[in-house]
Structure 1
Amino acid sequence: MNAILALLFPIAATTGHLFSPLTSFAMASETTLPASSSKKPKLSNYLSTIPQGPPDAILGIAEAFKTCTDTRKVNVCVGAYRDSTGKPWILPSVRKAEERLLSDAAFNKEYAPIAGDPTYVNLALQFAYGKDANLSNIAGVQSLSGTGACRIGGHFLSKFVPKPAGLTKVPIYIPTPTWGNHIAIFQEAGMDVRRYRYYNSKTNRLDYDGLMEDLNNAPEGSVILLHACAHNPTGCDPTHEQWHSISELIHSKSHHVFFDSAYQGFASGDAEADAFALRYFVEQGHNIVLAQSFAKNFGLYGERTGTLSVVCSTPEEREAVLSQLKLIIRPMYSSPPVHGASIVKIVLSDDELTSEYYNNCEEMAHRIRAMREKLVEVLKEVGSTHDWSHVTEQIGMFAFTGMSSDMCDQLTSEYAIYLTRDGRISLAGLNDGNIEYVAKAIHAVTDGKSITS
């Protein structure tokens, strides 16, 4: 017996007291543990090493405008439409569609599919490519407006376009100048961002010869980004004949086309006319990628509504491309918001609302054209002797004035007129109540100085 106890409970065998593991645990719990150190280990704070990032070039100006207390202040910076009183404008067709949407008992807030609402996507593609477009060959997905569309498209091209010989990244050629966000978007998507000449600052007009030379010199198989209409920021679009030549050159170099369409319908007031370049390139056999936004032309700035589409050669290609676009979207944001897309779907699926929407586009475009012409007229009236004809020849929301960064800084510091430092003015920010003040200020900072470089 003692031998067995010695094996099971060694202490009990020598002391005569039974000492089980449970007893050992209980006794250990009653013992006094050493006091813990009052000093805690120092954690690594990587946050303290993060530098302050620069403000966004455009949104930073908008914030400065908000905090400005000068009663004369005028915002001609941010690209958002304003009515003749300077107020944001909800398109009547959009308002009616939203009212109809909210009164629909079947409307819900469920997740959209990864590729978005398929009915909305098809209507958006018909709006861009035409009602007779062969949608069975177009892979389309809903996107977070134009920014999201560019990002998805950039990832897709970076992954699947063959790299030209000797290059480690797919090159994308972007016009100089361009929308400021293009560069960061495509860099973050893993592409090699390069530039091609677009605007001639000596003539304040399209640099067509420079554009053609640069596209011809780009490595064969590069991606070329083109603004479909109302080039931002210059408002200088190629003529139909120039678009023909650009298409032919791109074909000859086996380049890939990426169209960014943010102003269809808003540019000229005619959505069909504004789609000319896009549809012509498709007719010529380009397998284009299209980023499409409904922020400007539907006034859905805060709804983040757009599409990304790829023109394929066969339905089989379409299915393969669509599957890859979904794989890009899923880890990025899973699925898109539904509200803005539902509004666009209602407008474009109802003949009466579609007709009213086209009238709304013409109304916006007409006001912008009127402000463009009146600005030049008033500049002459207040004594400016500069040739401002380039402003009236431009199209879209912006006037690319030719003013230098110093002139722009002076407009802001002395006259509380907020604009980007490249001389771009949002004509939507002008109205009958402030246009004379703005014209006088522009005359003051440009008088006796050149508005061409």
Structure 2
Amino acid sequence: MSKFSAVPLAQPIEVFELTRSYNEDNFINKVNLGVGAYRDEHCEPWVLPVVRQAEQALANDDSLNKEYLPCLGIDAFSKAATLQLLGNDCQALRENRAFGIQSLSGTGCLRVGAEFLHSQLGCSVFYFSNPTWGNHKLIFKNAGFTDAREYRYWSQSSRRLDFKGLLEDLNNAPENSVIILHAVAHNPTGCDPTEEQWMEIANVMEARKLFCFFDCAYQGFASGDLDKDAWAVRYFVSRGFEMVVAQSFAKNFGLYNERIGNLTVVVKDPAFIPHIKSQFTLVIRGMYSNPPSHGARIIAYILNNPDLYEQWKLAVKTMADRIILMRKELRGALERFQAPGSWDHITTQIGMFSYTGLNEAQSEYMVKKHHIYMLKSGRISMAGLTLKNIEYVASAIVDSLTNAN
């Protein structure tokens, strides 16, 4: 008998299975609202022109080679990425209390950061929002955390943030728990705390001695304003929190398959940093040894070139503005079709994703009858909407609300 005969079949990952089904569907009006990647008004992937320009310049640079990078990655990239997150006026940067580590996109940052917190700080309890990005729990469990807990976040009845429940759950968290916080454009709900609510969250976390682990996947991509989208992280840093932040550049640079991210670490005393870096080096050495160079070189080239940086900011705003427009148009179409209930949450939410409020039966009805591919949770990607398909999607939502239980 084969040693592999006892290996069970794992459940398929919903979002990838949804994409596979969409690709196999021959229906002419099919719509993919499941994929978590930007699409232009023709539903096509968009490589940013400034990225193309940077790639051409790098390809023509004969001084570059294919040697291994250091375990912690390209320093020019990490410094620029950390500055982009924390801002020019950051006191922690001025005092040399913050640094970055190149990693494998946001997922790699989360895994490296979680393994470090577990192995070096003895952390075993982590909290994630209910709901959250589907990979958070798996990443932290695989990094050695043994106690996964949820804090309330989304209210299905009000289609708003359950802020009272959130604070209550954080107040009941044991000291030294690691709290995963979405920095902006919460995935999957698109519902963020206000600045005043972030202040209250910080008060509770400080009082309860909880550790902040921000997941920042959408800086600039949410509102079109890089500084506005970094507000929560910068506020916590200004309050003196020690923290780690997983930065992904998949969305705001369109570098999905380059797997490029930066793990920003903020501490109270710069004297700790050499020890911390040495332990991160060992974590990475035992995981993937060192990161790839291409995505990091692209970002470092753009962020360190003032003209290209301005071009990139315009491209980010272009993507954010299209998403905001799609929210406005979808809400308008639903209201014109007299969809039951209120739909203002479509435009008060922010970022790529929206929690529509459709239940599992209604969401499955959308897929099976209308060939509109969306998650069972009711989450849709606004990037899959266009001016050509919005009315079809809105009419399908009305049909689903009316005829699916």
Instruction: Please name the residue that 1:280 is paired with.
Output: 235
Instruction: Please name the residue that 1:188 is paired with.
Output: 142
Instruction: Please name the residue that 2:51 is paired with.
Output: 94
Instruction: Please name the residue that 2:395 is paired with.
Output: 440
| One of 359, 374, 378 as aligned partner of 2:329 | 374
Report the CA distance shift for 1:207/1:298 in structure 2 as closer, same or farther (over 3 A): same
Instruction: Please name the residue that 2:183 is paired with.
Output: 228
1:161 Cα shift? 2.6
Per-residue Cα deviation, 1:36-62 (whole angstroms, up to 9, x for no partner):
xxxxxxxx5112221211111111111
1:106 Cα shift? 1.4
Instruction: Please name the residue that 2:128 is paired with.
Output: 174
Secondary structure, in 3 states, of the residue corresponding to 1:48?
coil
Instruction: Please name the residue that 1:317 is paired with.
Output: 272
CA distance in 2, matches of 1:323, 1:137: 16
Matched, 1:52 2:52: no
Instruction: Please name the residue that 2:170 is paired with.
Output: 215
CA distance in 1, matches of 2:174, 2:340: 44
CA distance in 2, matches of 1:95, 1:381: 41
CA distance in 1, matches of 2:384, 2:67: 37
Letter paired with 1:67: E
Decide whether the 8 Å contact of 1:126 with 1:132 is kept in 2: no
| One of 219, 224, 233 as aligned partner of 1:269 | 224
| One of 51, 60, 71 as aligned partner of 2:28 | 71
Instruction: Please name the residue that 1:114 is paired with.
Output: 71
CA distance in 1, matches of 2:282, 2:375: 37
CA distance in 1, matches of 2:144, 2:6: 26
**Which has more radius of gyration?**
1
Secondary structure, in 3 states, of the residue corresponding to 1:54?
coil
Decide whether the 8 Å contact of 1:162 with 1:221 is kept in 2: no
Decide whether the 8 Å contact of 1:155 with 1:328 is kept in 2: yes
Decide whether the 8 Å contact of 2:82 with 2:99 is kept in 1: no
Secondary structure, in 3 states, of the residue corresponding to 1:180?
coil
**TM-score of the superposed pair, with normalisation by structure 1:** 0.87
**TM-score of the superposed pair, with normalisation by structure 2:** 0.97
1:64 Cα shift? 1.2
Moved over 6 A (4+): none
CA distance in 2, matches of 1:198, 1:257: 16
| One of 279, 293, 303 as aligned partner of 1:348 | 303
Decide whether the 8 Å contact of 1:140 with 1:322 is kept in 2: no
CA distance in 1, matches of 2:261, 2:198: 25
CA distance in 1, matches of 2:287, 2:256: 21
Letter paired with 2:234: R
Secondary structure, in 3 states, of the residue corresponding to 2:14?
coil
Decide whether the 8 Å contact of 2:223 with 2:229 is kept in 1: yes
CA distance in 1, matches of 2:156, 2:385: 24
Instruction: Please name the residue that 2:251 is paired with.
Output: 296
Letter paired with 2:80: L
Decide whether the 8 Å contact of 1:149 with 1:308 is kept in 2: yes
| One of 296, 302, 305 as aligned partner of 2:260 | 305
Decide whether the 8 Å contact of 2:189 with 2:354 is kept in 1: yes
Decide whether the 8 Å contact of 1:139 with 1:321 is kept in 2: no
1:382 Cα shift? 2.3
| Structure 1 vs Structure 2 CA RMSD | 1.3
The percent identity for this pair of structures is 46
1:448 Cα shift? 7.3
